[in-house]
Amino acid sequence: MGEYLSEAGLLTHALSRSRRKIIVFLATVLTLVLIVGALMHLIEGPAGGFTSIPMSVYWAIVTLTTVGYGDIAPQTPLGRLLASAVMIIGYGIIAVPTGIVTAELVRGGSTAKDTRKCPACDADDHDVDASHCKYCGGLL
C-alpha cells in the first residue's frame, strides 16, 4: 500500500482544490431539487402521491440521481413531462463532479514536470516554464 501513497496524495490534492466548485455545484443541485419538488407537488398534488413538499423533494432526488425507486410516480401528462426532464438532467448532473475533479487531476499532473527533451543533450524532466536546459543550458 505504501507505493500508492503518492497517488492518493494527488487525488486528495485534486479533491481539495476542486472543493469550492463542488460546493457550488451541490448548492445548485439542491436548489434545482427544491424547485422541481415544489413544482411536482403543485402539478400532481396529494391525489398523485405527492402528499407534501418534502415528499416531492424526495421524489426529485430519487429521480435526479437515476435511482428511481418507483414508490411515487407522476400520473398526469404534465407531471410525466417534468419527470422526463428531470431524468435527462440527472444524466448530465452525474458527469459534472467527475469532470471537475478530473480537470484538477490533469492540472495537478501537468504543473509538476514537462517531458520535453533538450535537443542538445537529450535530457528530459524540465520544469514547465523552463526555456533553457537545466543540465547543459541549451535552448529548449
Provide the residue range defining the domain that includes 72.
2-110
CATH of the domain at 105: 1.10.287.70
Which tens digits make up the pLDDT trace of 86-104?
999 999 888 888 899 998 8
Find the Cα–Cα–Cα–Cα dihedral 126, 132, 135, 137, rounded to 10°.
Answer: 180
Is pTM beyond 0.95? Reply is no
| pLDDT for residue 67 | 92
Residue 88 lies in a domain: yes
Residue 27 lies in a domain: yes
Residue 132 lies in a domain: no
Residue 135 lies in a domain: no
| pLDDT for residue 114 | 47
> Which class for 34: exposed (0-12), middle (13-18), buried (19 or more C-beta within 10 A)?
middle
Supply 32's cell numbers.
Answer: 434545482
Residue 129 lies in a domain: no
Residue 130 lies in a domain: no
User: How many whole angstroms separate alpha carbon 11 and alpha carbon 25?
Assistant: 19
- Domains contained in the chain, number: 1
Residue 44 lies in a domain: yes
| pLDDT for residue 109 | 57
Residue 120 lies in a domain: no
Which tens digits make up the pLDDT trace of 98-135?
899 998 888 875 544 446 778 888 888 787 788 888 88
